[in-house]
């Protein structure tokens, strides 16, 4: 990186000009450092690197905010920094009426492994509420199992011990600015020149950034003309090139394989015939598609992605989560048909908790087995594909290029699935006509819609899927079946049976034992085989317990009155809902490009309203019993 010999008045004027036009500024500074101002904001965070010592990691704890300066603490560079800050303050004071400078520095003291923050204020400043909000936020940021020690001092000098103050009181008044200092105990390293603890540093960065944003929000409301609706609105909006590169690299790896498709048997019909010939005594032998990727080589490429280049702590943590998730998916492929497959799947999809098992048992007890003679007409694969094609064509009337037309294939067993936004239908599929619409809304109205919306975002990982997306996706998809009136008693029994089969798998039951367990609960031999095959594919896949768990979670979500439409923004998990909300507030993410067509039906809105008043799975069971 080529650095300018001096940050001249002309360069400062260039910064002021861009900020006056509300354009982002990112410039390197002489000797060391940079200025990053996302847009016009009523605050800036400053860190001056001490001369003569390394101070490892401290600069990282300020780079998560939308407005910061990293600068050399050398006395010879002090006036340049002061001139730069005066220029920035002038623009912001004109726009907001006030400006806040927060200087951060490291300061050893107290218990080395316990976080400690010391807020330093000038006498008679106007920062009572702002300092209190920052202190409150810092006090909540548990690190290493400890709540931090937060102290507040009033002093004539607000600066590191070995440096002069940036501005005195007279200068601050002339600038229309306030100054607040925060000294931080550097728990992320052993000493000034010692070992860095990168995972611990990331924790501190995320929590410290949130605290600074909350303080800036408090100052903005109390001292300026701006009225942001949430502290996230003041967060980083200008996303850097490193973010898009990291997202693209992760998405490319995630899109290069479909773990569910690759662990689904290609000989399902033949396996059923052989299993029936054995009089249901011998475990079927499944065959799978050859792997189109080398898991080991992809893992090497995956962990070569330098997520630490991303300054934004929210996005960096998201990318690190994605790395771990893709790594486990690759392990799942590598372990296919091996004993470790089940253990890897448990890491990805979890098992069956006692409450979920009890719910599944209750559903099977309360919903009667429907006589076969009452099961109605059925559609073959081509008939269902025609209905699905018509649905996609309906979306394309308003959104050109939406989705892909369905494919009828010989290598898909147990009905249908969606892979990378494509609806794949098994040639031997036989689908109840009364359930066709519900399945279309499950697959197209949820999985294809969220894939399309993820594609519409600049973050391509939202099309591939963030960690834990499966449970929210399947819960949302099953809820769609209810909203269009297609979640009948037979379907509820199947969801419950999947939980029973997954529990049997985890408890050590063989394929034949799980099959018999389901036939004893009233399922036909063919239905029991299909459910058991889904659960025992690849060596034992626990994903199918997510449908009932996800439905229960969706009902809780709806009862809380949260935004239903926002769930279609892309493929993400429940734990990422706060992150998605933050990124929307920061205008990093867009609202969904397309919503499910079924939401415009007149009978859907009353059902949504009913869900918002509170309903549990058993309530749905009672309604399903009548269908």
Closest by CA position to 59, among listed 89, 29, 92? 29
Chain length of the chain? 627
CA 437 vs. chain centroid, Å, equals 30
Report pLDDT digits (tens) over 178-226.
999 999 999 999 876 678 899 999 999 999 999 999 999 999 999 999 9
Query: Are 502 and 352 a contacting pair, CB within 8 Å?
Result: yes
Rounded CA separation 213/217 (Å): 6
Rounded CA separation 626/123 (Å): 72
Report pLDDT digits (tens) over 20-40.
999 999 999 988 999 999 999
The per-residue pLDDT for 4 is: 72
Report pLDDT digits (tens) over 354-382.
999 999 999 999 888 876 655 679 999 99
Task: Take residue 597 and report the two structure tokens written for it.
Answer: 């067509």
The per-residue pLDDT for 414 is: 64
pLDDT confidence band for 622 (50 / 70 / 90): confident
The per-residue pLDDT for 111 is: 63
The per-residue pLDDT for 626 is: 60
Task: Give CA angle at 85 (79, 89), nearest 5°.
Answer: 145
Residue 77: what are its φ and ψ, rounded to 5°? Answer: -105, 0
Report pLDDT digits (tens) over 279-332.
999 999 999 999 999 999 999 999 999 999 999 999 999 999 999 999 999 999
Res. 627: pLDDT tops 60? no
Radius of gyration of the chain (CA): 29
The helix (H) or strand (E) run that includes residue 68 is strand 67-72
Helix 313-334 to helix 241-255 angle, to the nearest 10 degrees? 20
Residue 26: what are its φ and ψ, rounded to 5°? Answer: -145, 110
Could you give the percent of the chain with pLDDT greater than 90? 84
Report pLDDT digits (tens) over 91-134.
999 999 999 999 999 998 766 678 899 999 998 899 999 999 99
SS3 state at 47: strand
Side by side, the strands of the sheet bearing 416-419 are 407-409, 422-426, 416-419
- Between 523 and 194, name the one with better pLDDT: 523
Half-sphere exposure of 533 (CA within 13 A, CB side): 26
Residue 44: what are its φ and ψ, rounded to 5°? Answer: -150, 145
CA distances from 138 to 32, 33, 118, 135, 314 (A): 28, 26, 10, 5, 17
SS3 state at 609: helix
Strands 99-106 and 67-72 turn out to be: unpaired
Task: Take residue 412 and report the two structure tokens written for it.
Answer: 């898909």
CB atoms within 10 A of CB 174: 11
Task: Give CA angle at 612 (611, 616), nearest 5°.
Answer: 45
Longest distance between any two alpha carbons in the chain, whole Å: 93
Task: Take residue 545 and report the two structure tokens written for it.
Answer: 């317990």
Domains with residue ranges and CATH for the chain: 9-235 (3.40.630), 258-292+335-374+435-624 (no CATH)
Rounded CA separation 344/42 (Å): 48
463, 465, 466, 468 alpha-carbon torsion, rounded to 10°: 150
């Amino acid at each position: 990186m080529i650095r300018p010999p001096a940050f001249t008045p002309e360069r400062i004027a260039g910064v002021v000009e861009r900020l006056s036009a509300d354009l982002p500024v990112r410039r390197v500074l002489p000797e060391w450092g940079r200025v990053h101002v996302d847009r016009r904001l009523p605050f800036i965070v400053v860190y001056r690197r001490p001369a003569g010592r390394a101070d490892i990691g401290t600069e990282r704890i300020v780079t998560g905010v939308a407005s910061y300066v990293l600068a050399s603490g050398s006395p010879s560079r002090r006036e340049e920094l002061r001139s730069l800050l005066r220029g920035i303050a002038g623009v912001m004071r004109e726009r907001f009426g006030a400006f806040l400078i927060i200087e951060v520095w490291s300061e050893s003291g107290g218990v080395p492994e316990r976080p400690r923050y010391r807020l330093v204020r000038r006498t008679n400043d106007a920062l009572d509420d702002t300092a209190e909000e920052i202190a409150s936020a810092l006090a909540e940021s548990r690190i290493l199992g400890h709540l931090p020690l937060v102290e507040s001092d009033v002093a004539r000098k607000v600066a590191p011990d070995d440096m002069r103050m940036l501005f005195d009181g007279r200068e601050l008044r002339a600038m229309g600015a306030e100054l607040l200092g925060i000294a931080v105990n550097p728990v992320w390293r052993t000493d000034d020149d010692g070992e860095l603890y990168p995972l611990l540093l990331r924790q501190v960065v995320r929590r410290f950034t949130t605290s600074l944003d909350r303080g800036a929000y408090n100052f903005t409301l109390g001292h300026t003309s701006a009225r942001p609706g949430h502290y996230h609105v003041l967060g980083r909006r200008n996303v850097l090139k490193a973010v898009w590169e990291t997202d693209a690299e992760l998405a490319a790896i995630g899109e290069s394989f479909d773990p569910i498709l690759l662990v689904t048997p290609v000989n399902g019909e033949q396996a059923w015939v052989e299993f029936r010939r054995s009089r249901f005594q011998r475990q079927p032998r499944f065959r799978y598609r050859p792997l189109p990727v080398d898991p080991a080589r992809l893992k090497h490429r995956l962990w070569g992605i330098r997520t630490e280049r991303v300054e934004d702590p929210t996005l960096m943590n998201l990318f690190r989560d994605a790395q771990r998730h893709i790594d486990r998916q690759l392990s799942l492929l590598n372990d296919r048909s091996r004993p470790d497959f089940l253990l890897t799947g448990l890491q990805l999809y979890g098992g069956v908790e006692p409450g979920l098992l009890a719910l599944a048992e209750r559903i099977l007890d309360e919903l009667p087995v429907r006589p076969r003679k009452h099961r109605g007409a059925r559609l073959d694969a081509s008939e269902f594909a025609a209905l699905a094609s018509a649905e996609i064509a309906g979306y394309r009337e308003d959104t050109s290029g939406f989705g892909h037309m369905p494919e009828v294939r010989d290598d898909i067993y147990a009905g249908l699935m969606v892979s990378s936004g494509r609806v794949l239908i098994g040639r031997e599929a036989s689908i109840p006509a009364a359930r066709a619409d519900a399945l279309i809304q499950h697959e197209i109205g949820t999985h294809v819609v969220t894939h399309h919306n993820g594609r519409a975002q600049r973050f391509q990982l939202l099309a591939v899927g963030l960690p834990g997306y499966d449970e929210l996706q399947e819960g949302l998809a099953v809820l769609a079946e209810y909203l269009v009136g297609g979640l009948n008693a037979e379907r509820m029994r199947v969801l419950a049976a999947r939980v029973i089969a997954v529990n049997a798998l985890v408890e050590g039951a063989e394929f034949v034992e799980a099959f018999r367990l389901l036939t004893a609960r009233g399922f036909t031999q063919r239905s029991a085989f299909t459910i058991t095959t889904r659960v025992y594919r690849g060596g034992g896949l626990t994903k199918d317990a997510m449908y009932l768990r996800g439905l229960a979670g969706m009902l809780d979500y709806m009862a809380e009155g949260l935004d239903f439409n926002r769930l279609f923004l892309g493929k993400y998990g429940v734990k990422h809902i706060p992150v998605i909300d933050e990124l929307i507030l920061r205008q990093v993410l867009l609202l969904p490009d397309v919503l499910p067509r079924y939401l415009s039906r007149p009978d859907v809105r009353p059902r949504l309203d009913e869900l918002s008043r509170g309903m549990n799975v058993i309530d749905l069971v009672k309604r399903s019993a009548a269908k």
